[in-house]
A and B are shown apart, each in its own frame.
Chain A
Amino acid sequence: MSMAITPSGDKRPLALSVEGLTYAFNESMPLFANLSFTIREGEFVSLLAPSGIGKTTLFRLLAGLLTPQGGSIRLGAEKVEPSGAAHRRQSGRIGYMPQRDSLMPWRSVLDNAALGLELSGIPRREARRRVRELLPTFGLEGTEEKRPHELSGGMRQRVSFLRSVLGGGELLLLDEPFSALDAMTRISMQEWLLQIWEQHRKTILFITHDIDEALLLSDRVLVAEASPVSIMKELAVALPRPRTYQTVLDDSFVLLKRQALGLLGKEAARQEGASR
């Protein structure tokens, strides 16, 4: 089921639209200046950028954890309000998966994954039932009663991912979820995520500074080059799906990677070359 993604011809409704986003921790060093981009429903988009450019800050803005100083963020048709507001956002929530797994060490896998359901008022029994249903798909069968410290790094990230999927949101924000894993685990997690995503087609915005990872997983890669970010370059990844890790060996992949390196600029290209 190969599907070429051409953003201009895509008629799917918008899952996320960011318009004129401006944000700065202090005024002399703005992180985002009048930044705009959109993601369509069911799209897998990666945000590729060198470290220190404010990727995590962008995610926190999208998640409503920070308030932008200018511009708007819309999830579907709904505007994102900071969650500190007295009234609770009933809908338009997102599934946020942080860089570290941030699981609760005092909760079992089952209750960690059920957190989002629990917070939206679903009874514990029902929440647990829904988690149980998904455990096999997420490769977590038999870990129901385990605590996070009894799991490997990869398994913990799976639980964290399941938690964000069940968080209730249509859009999933994944913040460098595999960056802390060793290379082998990372590859198997990437393949696993590909497989899950190709089945469920949730809308995903994925932050990474790993070019291979971005190209392998995404329909579209947004490249942020330098701070402050105001325009992001875009690279459509028209590789056929389903993909596996073998895809990185294809000629078409190498071609895309060369383009991505070009978009990141020579500086980044040299860094990338040195770190490989």
Chain B
Amino acid sequence: MKQRLRSGVPVLVFVLLLALLWEAATAWLSIPHYIIPQLSDVLMSMWDNRQLLGKHFMITLGESLLGLSISVVFGTLAAVCIEGSSLARKTIYPLIIASQTIPIIALSPIMVMWFGYEIWSKVAVVILFTFFPIAVNTSDGFRTADSGIGEVMRSMGARRRDLFLKWKIPSALPGFFTGLKMAATISVGGATLGEWLGGEAGLGMYTKRASSMLRGDAVFSGVLLLSLMGILLFLAALWLEKAALSRRSS
């Protein structure tokens, strides 16, 4: 633990240096506040609006988590279907892979059209973003399960259920967590986009509105908080992965 804390020191120092550089450069080079506001102004604006920002933060976080949870359920189910039925493998799987070439952002307005300006349109956009990484990576996890283990189990008279529970599921966990980490990171982006397209609350809406008013300090405080949210969700997924796979080899 101590070792790990110490290994984090260089990057923290570097971030601090960058922050100082930001603060100093904006002051010395007299960059307009609507291009890059001074860091101290951003932090001050953040502090002044802490209650409002807190409220918007929780709304965006809620949308991200809700969408993410639904994607976990349906993405995993899709992966199980693909694994369990060769028909699904021949029909659903290629479609899922092909759908990754579609610019998902382009589909987002449809979600707004269908689900309106309530929370569900944002959740739908989050699902659009997060379903595929979870479904595809979990499915790959199933597919790359060590076939030798399956053969040993079959030679011992294992039933389909045994094979699935004792071999396939544990084998797919690393893939699932890879997908979850990817999904956690981009879920915030999905929620933000959903709010841009039509939202009355959330940090995405906040930054968009601030941007149209050329309020650099407010835009940057929103962006910093959204970044923080992405990092936190990723770390949470990472922590879950560590807890679940702690005793396996990497």
Contacts and interface: CB of A to CB of B under 8 A. Distances in A.
B153 A119 contact: yes
**Which 10 residue pairs across A and B have the least CB separation, nearest first?**
A102-B148, A149-B249, A96-B155, A63-B155, A116-B156, A83-B154, A106-B170, A98-B148, A167-B156, A102-B149
24 contacts: A63-B151, A65-B155, A83-B157, A93-B156, A94-B155, A95-B155, A96-B151, A96-B156, A98-B152, A99-B148, A102-B146, A102-B149, A104-B149, A106-B170, A106-B173, A115-B156, A115-B166, A119-B153, A119-B157, A119-B158, A119-B162, A120-B157, A167-B155, A173-B155
A106 B248 contact: yes
A83 B157 CA distance: 6
B139 to A, nearest CB: 19
A64 interface: yes
A88 interface: yes
Interface in B57-106: none
Interface of B, secondary structure class, is helix
Interface string B140-182: 0000001011011111111100100011001001000000000
Given A98-B148, A119-B162, A149-B249, A104 B155 contact: no
Given A104-B170, A149-B249, A88 B159 contact: yes
B157 A93 contact: yes
B170 A60 contact: no
Contact of A105 (B152, B155, B248): B248
Q: Interface residue tally of chain A, by bracket?
A: 35 or more
B4 interface: no
Interface in A143-165: 147-149, 163-164
B147 to A, nearest CB: 8
B247 interface: yes
B117 to A, nearest CB: 45
Contacts of A100: 148
Given A93-B157, A102-B148, A115-B156, 11 more contacts: A64-B154, A64-B155, A89-B157, A94-B155, A96-B155, A98-B152, A102-B152, A104-B149, A106-B248, A149-B248, A167-B156
Given A98-B151, A102-B148, A104-B170, A147 B249 contact: yes
B245 to A, nearest CB: 8
Given A88-B159, A102-B146, A104-B170, A115 B153 contact: yes
B194 to A, nearest CB: 37
A116 B162 CA distance: 11
Contacts of A103: 149
Interface in A172-193: 173
A20 interface: no
A175 to B, nearest CB: 10
Nearest to A94: B155
B162 A60 contact: no
Contact of B151 (A102, A147, A163): A102
A245 to B, nearest CB: 28
B16 to A, nearest CB: 38
A228 interface: no
A129 B173 CA distance: 29
B154 A65 contact: yes
A70 interface: no
B86 to A, nearest CB: 13
Contacts of B156: 93, 95-96, 115-116, 119-120, 167-168
Contacts of A164: 152
Interface in A48-103: 60, 63-65, 83-84, 88-90, 93-100, 102-103
A93 B159 contact: no
Contacts of A106: 170, 173, 245, 247-248
Interface in B227-250: 245, 247-249
Contacts of B166: 104, 115, 118
Interface string A105-130: 11000000001101110000000000
B157 A147 contact: no
Contact of B152 (A64, A88, A163): A163
A63 B146 CA distance: 18
Contact of A60 (B149, B151, B153): B151
Contacts of A168: 156-157
A183 B96 CA distance: 47
B157 A88 contact: yes
A7 to B, nearest CB: 26
Contacts of B159: 88
B2 to A, nearest CB: 23
